[in-house]
Amino acid sequence: MSTLRNSLNFFSNFLIFPMTEPAITPELVAKHNLTPEEYAHAVEILGRTPSYTELGIFSVMWSEHCSYKNTRPLLKTFPTKSPKILVGAGEENAGIIDIGDGIAIAFKIESHNHPSAVEPFQGATTGVGGIVRDIFTMGARPVCAVNSLRFGPITANGESDLSNSKAEIANNRRLFAGVVSGIAHYGNCFGIPTVAGEVYFDKTYQGNPLVNAFCLGVLRHEQITRGAAKGVGNPVFYVGPATGRDGLAGAAFASQDLTEESAEQQRGAVQVGDPFMEKLVCEACLELLATGCVAGMQDMGAAGLTCSTCEMAARAGTGIEIELDKVPQRAPNMSSYEIMLSESQERMLIVVHKGREEEVKRIFDKWDLPWSEIGIITDTGHMVVRHGSKLVVDIPARKIADESPVYHRDAQEPEYLKAVRAFRLDGTPDLTNGTDATDALKRLLAWPSIASKNWVYRQYDHQVRDGSVVLPGSDAAVIRIKTDSLPVMSAELAAKVGDPKVSEKLIAMTVDCNGVYVYLDPYEGGKATVAEACRNLACSGALPLGATDNLNMANPHKPELFWQMRESVRGLAEACRAFNAPVTGGNCSLYNQSPAGPIDPTPTVAVVGVIEKLEHVTTQWFKDEGDAIILLGEIVDQADPILGLGGSAYLQVIHSKKTGSPPRCDLETAKTLHTTLLGLIQSGLVKSAHDCSDGGLAVALAESCISQLIARETPRLIGATVDLSAVAADVSPLHSKSGIDQSRLTSAATSQGARLDALLFGETQSRVVISCKALDALKVVERARLMGVPAVQIGKVGGDKLTVKTASGEFSAPLTELHDPWWNSIARAMA
């Protein structure tokens, strides 16, 4: 990249102190990532050649980031309806779901991948800031944040590809540290708890990290705010810091392949965040909404002032006219192009009921916020922008906002899948004794993708506002929605509501995706992503309400990569329907690939659920000596030729293989498990519940022993003695439900106990380890089996070791020896 440092930035060539606007040439159009056909369509809409500023507007509004032109046909396949949905997918900045008693939650997930690859700290901070604004622009008070992060390897071994150089590992650590620091900085300063998340490390993300940020807010039904420019003659206000040259064309930057050249050229497309300013803007906007003087509001996120003006007008079927000389500017001589395309942070566009301007000014002055009345709502249906005496933009708002090109891309199954499906375990040596098993378990617990993420979450304030019930470190976070979680009410609403106090609500949330599974089988991986998220909620005592997704994918123009995306969306949609978790919105982040190649398709999904009572809140760690340990679900999927080891953490870490068909996800089986588990929890029979996912049963058991904290960093270790020697014969398989061709079974699959690695580390789906009182064990097993869920008592809680007996022998490890690599692995790598 150093050879590029002296090259002139494209934006520098044309944007900084421009003497005259450049001529619109095919070369300039191409630099704006518009195809000749798209440009011709823009000319057709205008009936003339666009101005330079209009060209920039078409470029950002018709980028993938803003228009979803390559993904819109796929997004239409998601389930989006539910009696509880108050604002659905695509309607506004975030979806809103009813949680009862007149209270609702707004939530959404979005990405800031490319900016974080270029400037990790600022990329991550502004990613958090952007998603927080999406929530309070709906009228909701943001109450918590979650994130999903992915980076290249930060250790020199234990990865599916061991060819990482020291320089690559150092760069991955730099990106990881910068992103986590950025998230912590913004969330902590703003005052919002970051309560959950996930972090994965894989060579596929080297050079193209994924930074997905989720936020959830709370409001009353009557406080829902729409981002529509309603009311002809209503004034338009700008509030927030002055517009600068940071963030120029960030939406367009996020809609192209990430290369060294593009990264160097687009450093100006990375915004700079100010969380203290955002806090002021949030509080001022919520106070302003309570006056009833707001007709519409939207944040200036992707595409900045461009997106907020044209989208608000398009939603209302009105027009909007603004004057750029009235827009606060922090740099001299800013061009129309720069002002319209800047993505400077913490800015809002607000349409105010005519005659109530003084209330707006009073509140913004109270909060010491810059503001300006910059325009008016018209009946023309056009987005009109003037700069001094010059008309610089005149575009039909609906045409630019809602009628972007839509593409149906070619799809072709990738060739690599032939080898993936053909993979068998014949050439992969099994574990032979307890020493091998113990060593494998310790290596898996130390693998950064499985190891404790305390190095990450201890940098976050996850208890601010005192609403956190289950902190980071369990299957899902749980927060308490209290009266003071809600925005302030207008006098009119307060008179209608009466007693402002609300009964407390318990909301659980998690974010999940196993990108390796999706790479190896996009359809099954997509299903498994949603199933795991819903299983995490069930383990916490929650019933799913809805989901929000972030499709992190590569270049849609390549048929093999588009096929991955199409098939993963098919799996996501099918699973969301099965679990009654409609998609309320989300984000598509395409072109995630570096010169080394595309990322694994990574459709991250956050699922939100509700817990009926505080006593139903369940965590993953064992509780008391003498409790019974029960496995819900099949010990091994005997219908799987590779016994749940395809794509497993075990194959990646122990055998450096990233291959094999991943464990199949039977949605009916999964749904039955979740319903049964929730019933057992609500009956008061379950003391802990932890799903089996990365690393299989052995890792789940170990985490149940070592993951509880009794102080900020003081673990409570409680052992377990487990006997798996007779489990396979005791758990009835569910082959008849699955329609599996028995002729596919291999000798390894039909010989019970033949493979110790599959028993301990296979990742067969729909399994949960629970604990209960010893006296309740028989009742729990019988109830589960009555519901059609395989269940067997496999051990008891107690001692200072994890001891596991199998038909191949016994292995035992002191908990201190398991906890140390699991707890300290990431910190040691980052030291």
> What does 628-687 look like in DSSP terms, one character per residue?
EEEEES-SS-TTSTTTT-TT-HHHHHHS----SPPPP--HHHHHHHHHHHHHHHHTT--S
Q: What integer pLDDT is reported at residue 726 of this predicted model?
A: 79
With a cut of 60, say whether residue 766 has pLDDT above it.
yes
Question: Radius of gyration over alpha carbons of the chain, in Å?
Answer: 27
Residue 163 pLDDT level (bands cut at 50, 70, 90): low
- Tell me the average pLDDT across 632-655: 96
348-352 vs 382-387, strand pairing mode: unpaired
- Cα–Cα dist 477/647, whole Å: 27
Closest alpha carbon to 15 in 52, 66, 64: 52
List, as one string, the DSSP characters of 183-206: HHHHHHHHT--EEEEEEEE-GGGT
pLDDT at 704: 98
Strands across the sheet with 294-299, in order?
294-299, 348-352, 235-239, 371-378, 319-323, 382-387, 390-396
Residue 743: pLDDT band (50, 70, 90) is very low
- pLDDT for 667-698, tens place per residue? 999 999 999 999 999 999 999 999 999 999 99
Question: DSSP code of 133?
Answer: H
Q: Does 521 have pLDDT greater than 90?
A: yes
Kindly state the tokens that stand for 226: 């729409």
What pLDDT, on the 0 to 100 scale, is given for residue 819? 97
pLDDT band per the 50, 70, 90 thresholds, residue 432? confident
Contact yes or no for 575/72 (Cβ under 8 A): no
- pLDDT surpasses 60 at 4: no
The mean pLDDT value for 809-831 works out to 95
Separation between Cα atoms, residue 563 and residue 557, nearest integer Å: 10
Give CA–CA dist 52/148, Å, rounded.
38
Residue 406 CA from chain centroid, whole number: 25
- Cβ neighbours of residue 60 closer than 8 Å, sequence gap 6 or more: 66, 249, 251, 252, 302, 303, 306, 307, 341
Chain-centroid distance of CA 247 in Å reads 22
pLDDT class of 211 with cuts at 50, 70, 90: very high
- pLDDT of 340 above 70: yes
- Specify the amino acid at residue 149: L
Q: What is the mean pLDDT of residues 221-236?
A: 95
Q: What is the pLDDT of residue 257?
A: 57
Nearest alpha-carbon partner for 351 in 376, 326, 328: 376
**Cα–Cα distance, 86 to 97 (Å, whole number):** 5
Which residues, 6 or more positions from 423, have their beta carbon under 8 angstroms from its beta carbon?
642, 646, 659, 660, 661
Tell me the average pLDDT across 312-325.
96
Average pLDDT over residues 390-419: 94
Instruction: Supply the pLDDT for residue 217.
Output: 97
The whole-number pLDDT of residue 206 equals: 94
pLDDT above 50 for 778: yes
Distances (CA, A) of 802 to 595, 618, 708, 798: 45, 22, 15, 9
Encode pLDDT of 94-134 as tens digits: 999 999 999 999 999 999 999 999 999 999 999 999 999 99
Check 32, 65, 387, 674 and give the catalytic one.
65
Which pLDDT value is given to residue 10? 35
Average pLDDT, the chain: 90
How far apart CA 406 and CA 16 sit, in angstroms, is 33
Task: Pull the structure tokens for residue 420.
Answer: 């993936």
Closest CA to 68 of 407, 363, 350, 554: 407
265, two tokens: 């050229």
Q: Is 173 in a helix, a strand, or coil? A: helix
Mean pLDDT along residues 810-814 = 94
Run of H or E including 226: none
Q: 112 catalytic, yes or no? A: yes
Rounded mean pLDDT of 784-789?
97
Q: What is the dihedral of CA 557, 561, 562, 564, to 10 degrees?
A: 180
| Cα angle value 321/326/330 (rounded, 5°) | 130
Cα(825)–Cα(748) distance, integer angstroms: 34
Three-class SS string for 520-550?
HCHHHHHHHHHHHHHHHHHHCCCEEEEEEEE
Looking at residue 496, its pLDDT comes to 83
Please check the confidence at residue 744 and state whether its pLDDT lies above 60: no
- Say if residue 738's pLDDT is above 50: no
The average pLDDT across 759-776 equals 97
| Over residues 757-770, mean pLDDT | 97
Q: Of 155-164, 414-423, 440-449, 616-625, where does mean pLDDT reach its minimum?
A: 155-164
> What average pLDDT score do residues 48-76 get?
93
pLDDT digits (tens, 9 = 90+) for 481-498: 988 899 988 888 888 877
User: Phi, psi at residue 802, to the nearest 5°?
Assistant: -105, 115
In the predicted model, is pLDDT for residue 359 greater than 90? yes
Q: What's the CA gap between 192 and 135, in Å, rounded?
A: 12
Q: pLDDT band for 301, please (50, 70, 90 cuts).
A: confident
pLDDT of 229 above 80: yes
Is residue 65 part of the annotated active site? The answer reads yes
**Would you state the structure tokens that stand for residue 466, as one six-digit string?**
């005192």
User: The whole model's pTM is what?
Assistant: 0.92
Q: Which two tokens stand for residue 759?
A: 């028993």
How buried is residue 46: exposed, middle or buried, by Cβ count under 10 Å (0-12/13-18/19+)? Answer: middle
Average pLDDT over residues 613-620: 97
- Strand-pair category, 715-716 with 597-598: unpaired
- What gap in Å lies between CA 639 and CA 753, rounded to an integer? 14
Check residue 495 and give its pLDDT: 83
pLDDT class for 256, splitting at 50, 70, 90?
Answer: low
DSSP letter at 155 equals S
Going by pLDDT thresholds of 50, 70 and 90, the confidence category of residue 747 is very low
368-377, 487-496, 590-599, range with the lowest pLDDT? 487-496
Distance CA 514, CA 266 (A): 30
Closest CA to 406 of 749, 73, 727: 73
Q: Give the torsion sign (CA, 472, 476, 482, 485).
A: positive
Annotated active-site residue in 112, 114, 387, 690: 112
User: What was the pLDDT predicted at 269?
Assistant: 54
Check residue 8 and report its DSSP letter: P
Please give the pLDDT value at position 466: 78
From the list 214, 764, 823, 205, the residue with the least C-alpha distance to 532 is 764
* Residue 558, burial from CB neighbour count under 10 angstroms (0-12, 13-18, 19+): middle
pLDDT of residue 162: 46
Q: How open is the CA angle 157-161-163, to the nearest 5 degrees? A: 75
| Phi, psi for 22 (deg, rounded to 5) | -70, 155
With 80 as the cut, is the pLDDT of residue 423 above it?
yes
